[in-house]
Amino acid sequence: MAFDSTLADINREFDEFEKELQASQEEAKIKAAEVAKWKKEMAKSRSEGQFFKQLYDDEDSDDENDGIKGRVSSGGQRRRKKKRFSSDEARIEAKARSDKVIEPARSETTSKFRFMLFGALSGVLAVAVIADVTSAGPSPGQDALYAAIATALAFNAIEERKDL
């Protein structure tokens, strides 16, 4: 009698586990389908970006190919046509677009304060290295480290000065 009730409890737990397993598998399938749909949408939107629109011609577009433009060659592979700049106006326009993005970033990443800070720190470290080298017991490892850091800071100061 006790054996039958124990076996019934085990079977009940096994049935519950099977239901949980099936629900988990269905959930995994749904999530995999969502991920596949997301990847497909991302690939389509990536191929529709400004960069790619400028690189390739818009002719020969196929809606059935998920937004991928180009012709299908005899081997089934896609061939893309490169868009050639038709005139200097197109190059000037492209340069203006890139400057429109680069200039605000440049103004936000450079400042006179950073230039002064890098210059002052490199100067302090250079003086510390010179003072240690001229002392009675210089430490070469520490001097080399400080000199490398001072050089890096001086380089950053020079780059900041160029961008001001």
Q: Is 106 within 8 Å of 86 (Cβ atoms)?
A: no
Share of the chain above pLDDT 70, in %: 73
Query: Has residue 64 got a pLDDT over 50?
Result: no
Query: Has residue 5 got a pLDDT over 80?
Result: yes
**Given pLDDT bands bounded at 50, 70 and 90, which one contains residue 121?**
very high
In this predicted structure, what is the pLDDT of residue 78? 54
C-alpha 85/C-alpha 55 separation (Å) is: 9
pTM, entire model:
0.40
Q: Is 132 within 8 Å of 142 (Cβ atoms)?
A: yes
Query: Has residue 29 got a pLDDT over 90?
Result: yes
